[in-house]
Structure 1
């Protein structure tokens, strides 16, 4: 394990961590879901390293170890994670693993934003994990009150009090900048999420240029990424060969997976399945 710094095009420094097995044959970029710091993926990264990979995890700007001291004053917008941070992490991985084929595991928004990466063509395959549109009306009815409370009560109150989204008991993720929350809320109230914005306000982007195969793993107890919203996200990559795999907790031998459980202890058989697909010739 080695800590490194990935430097984004605008100079922002992103703490990252490399995990390397003996004589690695593939390089794996792991991109985080919103609110999940890089440490959350450490067990997964170590497992892939044991399978013969060099793996890089990193913290998106404003989150985890990339959080500035004054988060309330931070100027950024959500898609900066895809335009600036993920490309910098990919460049750092390529520098650490010269000559190795590069593949990508995107959790949640890590899959959403692969099409913002100007260097996406360096990636041979994308494994999406719990990647589905955030549009709230396509989520289970029982989950809607939780979402609406976050968007319209907790979030605004947290911004008013702290100037950012405070992590803790009600929002269990890491602290988030205002510039993440505001566009995220806007997209999650749009039936097309951000898809129709790609031709206008979210230019430049490269979604239509992505041709690397995508396989998307969806879990039946995930209230956000379900078969409908997972398929919606694959549509924003119109020229990438893609398929969607649905798994149940019982089929994985665990009581719960949800939106984040694919990276928790006990999911090693799934990790092997993902890695085998990423590295097949």
Structure 2
């Protein structure tokens, strides 16, 4: 067994906001991977897969975006944070911190859902040799599987606004199964979700981006039982990365010995057979 050391700490984002983070370290790591969460998922969801990677020789960094789980303020009401803060302030700082875990060794990213969106807005994305995505597609409601679209619209236009009126944020529980969500994250996400081009239709107001400059290979693993991230949704997201070689691998959970994977089950023990796939792919770039 490889001796693995875990360390909980606070990582300063680009603007100094302190992010809850955990490093998974080993001696003589071959490479490092930054694992970036899906919207509303705490970093602990990814710890088992990170430890698995450490046994393969990969150091890892997992972290919570501002406003999420360990990086949430004591009082969510009035807390000011949106997805672009995650993209321009949190993700780049975490990428630099991941690189520092094994200086001089190859660096990779593994982004779950929105974690794959942030990459294109980071000014240091070029540091990574390849980018793995897991169930990453756009959030455009018309690209979800037909059976999921009515749920998305209910969340955007009924449940979400009602929760904002009551709490000024989206609390955990009810129709929202993630951690508490800042108000501006919800409203920005909803704005993008109404357009087929998702955030690409707001480039002018969002400012500089690097979706057309990222040239490292990208592979997106999606699953046939994920109604949120359909094949079309994932293909749409990959098309935004115009300079990179991209591919989508859509898997049936049964291929991995799992009954259900859906949008976030790839990181659970029941889908452990999946965990080796990103690391096998990263191995090819060492």
Q: TM-score range by the shorter chain?
A: over 0.9
CA deviation vs aligned residue, 1:8-35 (integer Å, no higher than 9, x gap)? 1111111100112342101000000001
TM-superposed CA distance for 1:4, in Å, is: 2.2
Contact 2:224 2:250 in 1 (8 A): yes
Pairing 1:157–2:196 present: no
* In structure 1, C-alpha distance between the alignment counterparts of 2:100 and 2:251, rounded to whole Å: 35
Q: Which residue of 2 aligns with 1:19?
A: 24
Contact 2:25 2:101 in 1 (8 A): no
1:92 alignment partner, one of 97, 102, 126: 97
Q: How does 1:46-61 map to 2 (within 5 A)?
A: 46-61=51-66
CA deviation vs aligned residue, 1:102-155 (integer Å, no higher than 9, x gap)? 000000000011001111011110000000111111212221221111111111
Structure 1 gap segments, 5+ residues each: none
Q: Which residue of 2 aligns with 1:274?
A: 278
Aligned residues: 280
Deviates more, 1:266-275 or 1:150-159: 266-275
Pairing 1:221–2:222 present: no
Q: Which residue of 1 aligns with 2:200?
A: 195
2:255 alignment partner, one of 242, 251, 268: 251
Structure 2 counterpart SS, 1:105: strand
* In structure 2, C-alpha distance between the alignment counterparts of 1:204 and 1:246, rounded to whole Å: 31
Q: How does 1:237-248 map to 2 (within 5 A)?
A: 237-248=241-252
Pairing 1:105–2:90 present: no
Structure 2 counterpart SS, 1:70: coil
TM-score scaled to structure 2, two decimals?
Answer: 0.95
Pairing 1:68–2:79 present: no
Structure 2 counterpart SS, 1:197: helix
Deviates more, 1:210-219 or 1:87-96: 87-96
* In structure 1, C-alpha distance between the alignment counterparts of 2:33 and 2:87, rounded to whole Å: 17
Structure 2 gap segments, 5+ residues each: 1-5
- After the TM superposition, list the runs of 4 or more consecutive aligned residues in structure 1 that deviate by more than 3 angstroms: none
CA deviation vs aligned residue, 1:230-250 (integer Å, no higher than 9, x gap)? 010011110011111110011
TM-superposed CA distance for 1:76, in Å, is: 2.1
Structure 2 counterpart SS, 1:194: helix
Contact 2:163 2:171 in 1 (8 A): yes
Contact 1:133 1:224 in 2 (8 A): no
Contact 1:21 1:51 in 2 (8 A): no
Q: Which residue of 2 aligns with 1:206?
A: 210
2:120 alignment partner, one of 115, 118, 140: 115
TM-superposed CA distance for 1:83, in Å, is: 0.8
* In structure 2, C-alpha distance between the alignment counterparts of 1:266 and 1:43, rounded to whole Å: 12
TM-superposed CA distance for 1:78, in Å, is: 1.4
Contact 2:145 2:230 in 1 (8 A): no
TM-score scaled to structure 1, two decimals?
Answer: 0.97
